[in-house]
Structure 1
Amino acid sequence: MTQPSFDAQREQLANGHFIRVVNYHSTPRGARAELEKEMAGFARDYAPVTLDDLDRLFDTGTWHKDKPGLIPVFYEGYRNSISVAAPLCDQYGLTGWFPIATSFVDCDPEHQEAFARAHWISLVEEDTKGGRIAMSWDEVAEVSKRHVVFPHTAHHEGFDTVLSDEDIRREVVESKAALEAVTGQEAPAFVWLHGSSYGQSPRHDRAVKDAGYRYQFANTMIHRVN
């Protein structure tokens, strides 16, 4: 990655050459109008960010579009991510980024509410009315055709609870393999529960790097995995 000087970074920020990341979790139908209003405003004021755009920014240190970039991130793999969030992104020409807790998607719909409550996945009343709460694998494949899909671990775990080699393989490596098998595409990024930063644990950083991820999303930044 090209490392621009501090003065260059300050100049770019002053000129609006940056990427804004906005995090969402469940996007229920009952809040669709509110989300649509936000997406319309983002589409007016920001440019979409594809994976190629992000690669170019990290490779050159320069944002190449006239407007600052926007990455709307829709976490966990809720069914309403494809029924509400993805269609709104499509409608307004935005690229959505979807971190998937792969075991949530893999869970039998009959047990998804219990899985969610046991794994820090928030629910609203709408989610508890029966039927699937998570996307199906076919829906994950469908959303990956137009947007960016990547693992949010397998079981919605933080690095501080993923301790054994077996745990690391399941949460970091196997989640990537599962998504890539379904989508036929590279899973380019990874994110821990709680948005932990790259650099907090050498062992976990090494696992993310060895798995072949290019990026790690965190609460305060997007890390390029080197």
Structure 2
Amino acid sequence: MTRPALSRTREQLQNGHFIRVVNYHSTPRVARDELAAELAGFAKDYAPVTLADLDRLFETGEWHADRPGLIPVFYEGYRNSAEVAAPLCEELGLTGWFPIATSFLDTPEEHQEAFARAHWISLVEEDTRGGRIAMTWDEVAQLSKRHVVFPHTARHEGYDNVFTAEDLEREVFEPKRKLEAVTGQEAPAFAWLHGSSYGQSALHDDAVREAGYRYVFSNTMIHRIR
């Protein structure tokens, strides 16, 4: 991949050639209008970013659009991400990026609230009234036709709680295979709980790289894995 000089990077930033990443978690129906207004404001000032756009940026160091890019990221795999956030993105011409905690989706509906409370998945009032909280695998497949879906581990784990080969298989390797089987597409990226960065642990970096991910989304940057 091309590594632009600092002067070239400064020039790109001054010209608005950068990508802004905005993180969301639950997007409840009761707050739909607020989310719609926020995303509409972003859509006015920023260009959507597809996977191909991101690949091109990292491969060439050049941003192709006349506006900065926007990646709205909707974490965990909430039902309301599929029912509220994704349709709003589509109305506004944005590409949503959806990191999925795969075991959350595998949990039976009647146990999803308990799973969420045990695995750092925040709930709002409408989530506690009964019914499904996580999106379905059919919804994931549908999302992948227009947006980008990728693993957020299986059980919503941080790398500091994943130690053994069995842990790595469950949290890093299997979620990728599962998403790819459901969508028929590559799962190109990965994200740990707490937004941990690539480069903090050789054990975990090796697993992410071996699994075949191209990107890690962290709290500070999008890491391109060589």
| TM-score for the superposition, normalised by structure 2 | 1.00
Corresponding residue of 2:165: 165
1:60 aligns with 2:60: yes
What amino acid sits opposite 2:24 in the alignment? Y
1:150 aligns with 2:150: yes
1:174 aligns with 2:180: no
1:15-30 correspondence to structure 2 within 5 Å:
15-30=15-30
Corresponding residue of 1:219: 219
After TM superposition, which residue ranges in structure 1, 4 or more long, deviate above 6 angstroms? none
What amino acid sits opposite 2:84 in the alignment? V
Corresponding residue of 1:41: 41
| 1:124-173 superposed Cα distances (whole Å, 9 cap, x missing partner) | 00101111000011011111110000000000000000011000010000
What amino acid sits opposite 1:167 in the alignment? D
1:58-97 correspondence to structure 2 within 5 Å:
58-97=58-97
Q: Unaligned stretches of 5+ in structure 2?
A: none
Q: Distance in 2 between matches of 1:142 and 1:17?
A: 31
Cα deviation for residue 117 of structure 1 reads 0.2
Cα deviation for residue 195 of structure 1 reads 0.4
Corresponding residue of 2:100: 100
Cα deviation for residue 41 of structure 1 reads 0.5
Corresponding residue of 1:194: 194
**What's the secondary structure of 1:36's corresponding residue?**
helix
1:114 aligns with 2:119: no
What percentage of aligned pairs have identical amino acids? 77
**What's the secondary structure of 1:223's corresponding residue?**
strand
Q: Distance in 1 between matches of 2:163 and 2:48?
A: 37
| 1:5-28 superposed Cα distances (whole Å, 9 cap, x missing partner) | 000000000000000000000000
Corresponding residue of 1:5: 5
What amino acid sits opposite 1:18 in the alignment? F
Q: Distance in 2 between matches of 1:132 and 1:185?
A: 26
Cα deviation for residue 123 of structure 1 reads 0.1
Q: Distance in 2 between matches of 1:44 and 1:142?
A: 26
Cα deviation for residue 113 of structure 1 reads 0.1
Q: Distance in 1 between matches of 2:155 and 2:69?
A: 30
**What's the secondary structure of 1:89's corresponding residue?**
helix
Cα deviation for residue 114 of structure 1 reads 0.2
Q: Distance in 1 between matches of 2:130 and 2:139?
A: 18
Corresponding residue of 1:31: 31
Q: Unaligned stretches of 5+ in structure 1?
A: none
